[in-house]
Amino acid sequence: MDFLREVFKGSNRFILRLALIAALGGLLFGYDTGVISGALLYIEPDLHPSGFEAQAFVGALLVGAVIGAAMSGWSADALSRRRTMIIAGAIYVVGALASAASQSPWELIWARFVLGFAVGAASFVAPMYISELAPKRIRGGVTSFNQLMIVSGIFASYIVNWAFGGAAGNWRWMLGLAAIPGAALAIGMYFQPFSPRWLASKGREEEAREVLGMVRDEDEVEEELSEIDEEAQIDSTWRDLFAPGVRAMVVIGLVMAIAQQLIGVNTVIYYAPTILKLTGLSTTSAITQALSVGITNVIFTVVAILILDKVGRRPLLIVGTIGCVIALVVLGIFFASSTLKQDFSGLALVCLIVYIAAFAVGLGPVFWLMISEIFPLHVRSAAMSLSTVANWATNFLVSTFFLTLTGAISVEGTFWLYAGFGVAAVIFFVLKLPETKNRSLEEISEEVTDEAVGTT
């Protein structure tokens, strides 16, 4: 409850409103990654895609997201975090309406590709923007509003899939409704301030001071502005990502980015109804049961928000990943056993719920939060962009080839493979992951860089 008391106090209420608007970028991310899971079941009898085209409906968005994440690293520095998110919202509206109007598989594939630009950009610029404005004592919880919006978007997409399942033009409604949050992001961000760290990096110190005055106590403004100015004076190039201290943090960001996907989370998001259908359920029952996965995702993300700034990032990440591994192992055993599938058909749903709960308190929010915290200001956009590109690229490989992989090594073998990646991730986190709670972004930058230099 400490987080709730803090977030509703004084200037923090302004941060709450700002974070919720910026986190609409996460809603875009969540909705379009989730909506395709149900829409696929209705697109196929309408557009009659080939097997490759059906997988490309998922993969096109992910390829676009890789490109969008790479481009927005430059855009976040050159144009600002705020303007980048306005542009992303506008692109999202165009992509959503084009998806709904598609008359052939390839029209839909190209529309989803355009959507990917917006999703990739918003996926890391939103948490970056929020973290750069939030006070350190509530930064973990407030920045994780972005993750709450991601899972809320996924859950909303499941509800939309369920609600429009019997409607005429059902999949077109499912995809087209995404234009609403896209427009809300573009319009909402127009009225938000620039990041004080971006302003300082452009020499606009008075404006940075003014923005900090909106979100900090009076006695904190000058101290933090001084720290920001010191960081902002450092010129940087992409080569700086490989400097001794920064390189260690980049490796941590990349490992978290890749591990988040290699444990198979988005196969659960994209293919939850498909996985449940493998247990013998009908299409309608599979979509209905998938709602419980979405509800669990939202509930446990709220739990993470409430405790992140008290418990810390590191414990939640380690414990959550262990929970994912256990659920994946049991899920593999379920699909390997004909007895379990016949006598305990509900076990698959239980495993999916446990898996998504563990992910929602661990790798889900902590990855996006920590990559917005651990990098020095002069390389933050580039390093976050690199981590996000790695995340979306791995997402593409895992999600696009999930069905191919299950055919090659079986369903149970696929889940056990994901569990193996999870074990490797836990070992890395235990050995290498720093704790970042209750430190300013500049303090984190100095401390983790000094520690990394000392070990190289």
Please state the three-class secondary structure of the chain as a single string.
Answer: CHHHHHHCCCCHHHHHHHHHHHCHHHHHHHHHHHHHHHHHHHHHHHHCCCHHHHHHHHHHHHHHHHHHHHHHHHHHHHCCHHHHHHHHHHHHHHHHHHHHHCCCHHHHHHHHHHHHHHHHHHHHHHHHHHHHHCCCCCHHHHHCHHHHHHHHHHHHHHHHHHHCCCCCCHHHHHHHCCHHHHHHHHHHHHCCCCCHHHHHHCCCHHHHHHHHHHHCCHHHHHHHHHHHHHHHCCCCCHHHHHCHHHHHHHHHHHHHHHHHHHCCHHHHHHHHHHHHHCCCCCHHHHHHHHHHHHHHHHHHHHHHHHHHHHHCHHHHHHHHHHHHHHHHHHHHHHHHCHHHHHHCCCHHHHHHHHHHHHHHHCHHHHHHHHHCCCCCHHHHHHHHHHHHHHHHHHHHHHHHCHHHHHHHHCHHHHHHHHHHHHHHHHHHHHHHCCCCCCCCHHHHHHHHHHHHHHHC
Identify whether 124 is part of a domain.
yes
- Identify which of 90-99, 260-269, 393-402 has the greatest average pLDDT: 90-99
Point out the least confidently predicted range of 259-268, 280-289, 424-433. Answer: 280-289
Domain total of the chain: 1
Identify whether 207 is part of a domain.
no
Identify whether 204 is part of a domain.
no
Identify whether 332 is part of a domain.
yes
Identify whether 209 is part of a domain.
no
d(CA 18, CA 129): 10
Q: What is the pLDDT of residues 399-410, one digit of tens each?
A: 777 777 888 898
Nearest C-alpha neighbor of 259 from the set 151, 125, 364, 377: 364
Q: Give the residue-averaged pLDDT of 173-183.
A: 92
Identify whether 420 is part of a domain.
yes
Report pLDDT for 281. Answer: 65
pLDDT band of 231, cuts 50, 70, 90: low
Query: CA distances (Å), 87 to each of 111, 190, 193, 361, 392, in order?
Result: 16, 10, 15, 31, 20
Q: What is the pLDDT of residues 417-437, one digit of tens each?
A: 999 999 999 999 999 888 777
Which residue range(s) make up the domain with 73? 2-192+234-455
User: Which CATH number goes with the domain that contains 146?
Assistant: 1.20.1250.20
Token pair belonging to 110: 């190209």
- Identify which of 166-170, 340-344, 355-359 has the greatest average pLDDT: 355-359
Identify whether 199 is part of a domain.
no
Identify whether 212 is part of a domain.
no
* 322: CB partners within 8 A, 6+ apart: 358, 422, 426
